[in-house]
Amino acid sequence: MEKIVVIGGGFAGIIIAKELAHSKDYSVTLVDRNTYNFFPPLLYQVATGFLEVSNISYPFRKLFTHKENLHFRMGEFLEVVPGENKVILSNGELSYDHLVFATGAGTNYFGMENLKQNALPMKTVNDALELRNHFLLTMEKASVATNAAERTKMLTIVVAGGGPTGVEISGMLAEMKKYIVPKDYPELTGRGYESHIYLVDGGKALLAPMSKESQHDTYEELIKMGVEVKLGLTVTDYDNDIVSLSNGDKIATNTLVWAAGVTATAPKGLPPEHIGRGKRMLVNEFNRLVGMDNIYAVGDTSLQTHEAAWPNGHPQLAQVAIQQARNLVKNFKAIKKGETLSSFSYHDKGTMAIIGRNKAVADLPKPKLHLKGFIAWFIWIFVHLMSLVNYRNKLRTLYNWTGSYFTRDQSLRMIIRP
């Protein structure tokens, strides 16, 4: 058996492992810093207390049970040594015949150190739990605050980034403000209690990759829900509980949720000529690193420019990672059979974003169609439910969603600090 080492257990890493399960040709070792796979599109629901961590995550070792050619190694990737076909981890080394990077992308603070230190990202399960604890602890402090200005600062939230994550968490917070806060925090109702939810984005519209219809509908719905949308502005600093905007405006807040950008991480050990824009690895049409024979990159960490429709690389979306991973598995099988490799071709299946209860937008490419309202919301629910890693996650998430749909509430708002 030839050895395949996969760095990263996200969408692409799991696809490669699952589709090579029981293979007689390859032994696959998946390396990840966590012991579990998780579903990033639903992190914001963990952060707002509408889903449990166990709803969107599942242990790798449980997933690999009874699959003799699949192995898991918990560890932090440190360096690759291409000349020796080995990777150095925080707890040892692994040799490989084929190496696949599926490490995704991390938070991009655009070089602003204060934002890195003070803003709240939402890229990992730990981030989501920290955000949930922060939200709840801030509300508890606000409920006993006697200074009006301090209380308003605690009840003001700024979300930076008008992509799907920023839109979805802004909509969720707006619904919580309307339906949950009056019930859970009666101390914060009545006159003299001012609160704000700001959504800030540097573009001319929200959901930049989507259609103008989706952008318009999303903007209108968020405004109706009480979200204060600020377009054409960027966050330039966050220090001493003050968010500074590019037009000079200042917003006093204890909470800045950072959903404004992502960046890949260039693996140590690869020459600079293998790294392109956004620190993404330059790969050919087979997702093989240019100039390398047995190192591959898929998903957010890869930059592939062979398709005329995507001259600057594919969008950093889950569908790209999933499709690239499946094509790479197909090519691994072709290598063993001596068959011709298949070039990757991205099939855009559409984009969507949820805004609130019965409110969503969806753009479908074939036929070119824009949907909004309940039908788009239902499609979003179905697609995300089916994308979870196994039936256990699907059923538990459906149970929680059903309860929160009919009650507009959830009982998972607990401050738990390990």
Predicted pLDDT at 212: 95
Same domain, 198 and 273: no
Are 71 and 52 in a shared domain? yes
DSSP E strands, 50-152 = 57-59, 70-74, 77-81, 86-89, 92-95, 98-101, 106-107, 120-121
The most distant pair of C-alpha atoms in the chain lies apart, rounded to whole Å, by 75
CATH number of the domain that 84 lies in? 3.50.50.60
Q: Report pLDDT for 31.
A: 98
Domain with 315, as residue range(s), is 2-105+264-337
Residue 371 belongs to some domain of the structure: no
| Domain CATH number, residue 253 | 3.50.50.100
For residue range 260-291, what is the model confidence (pLDDT) as tens digits?
Answer: 988 998 999 999 999 999 899 999 999 999 98
Q: What Å distances lie between residue 346 and 39, 277, 285, 310, 342, CA to CA?
A: 21, 20, 11, 9, 12
Residues 279 and 216 in one domain: no
Per-residue model confidence (pLDDT) at position 113: 94
Low-confidence ranges of the chain (pLDDT < 50): none
pLDDT at 331: 96
Q: Are residues 78 and 142 in the same domain?
A: no
The mean pLDDT of the chain is 94
At 147-193, the pLDDT tens digits run: 999 999 999 999 999 999 999 999 999 999 999 999 999 998 876 67
**How many domains is the chain built from?**
2
Q: What is the DSSP string of 7-51?
A: E--SHHHHHHHHHTTT-SSEEEEEEESSSEEE-GGGHHHHHTTSS
Both 175 and 137 in one domain: the answer is yes
Q: Say if residue 273 is in the same domain as residue 304.
A: yes
Would residue 350 count as lying in a domain?
no
Q: pLDDT at position 274, please?
A: 93
- pLDDT given for residue 270 in this prediction: 94
Domain identity same for 176 and 275: no
Whether residue 150 contacts residue 134, with contact meaning beta carbons closer than 8 Å, is answered with no
Structure confidence at residue 368 (pLDDT): 86
Residues 245 and 168 in one domain: yes
In this structure, are 75 and 199 located in the same domain?
Answer: no
Same domain for 117 and 247, yes or no, is yes
Torsion of CA 168, 172, 173, 178, to 10 degrees: 140
Domain-terminating residue out of 261, 277, 310: 261
Q: pLDDT at position 10, please? A: 93
Q: In this structure, are 255 and 119 located in the same domain? A: yes
Residue 159 falls within a domain, yes or no?
A: yes
Predicted local distance difference test score (pLDDT) of residue 418: 66
Strand-pairing partners, residue 403, are none
Last residue of a domain, one of 242, 261, 280: 261
Strands (DSSP E) found in 70-113: 70-74, 77-81, 86-89, 92-95, 98-101, 106-107
Whether 250 and 273 map to the same domain: the answer is no
Which of the listed residues 261, 295, 319 is the one where a domain comes to its end? 261
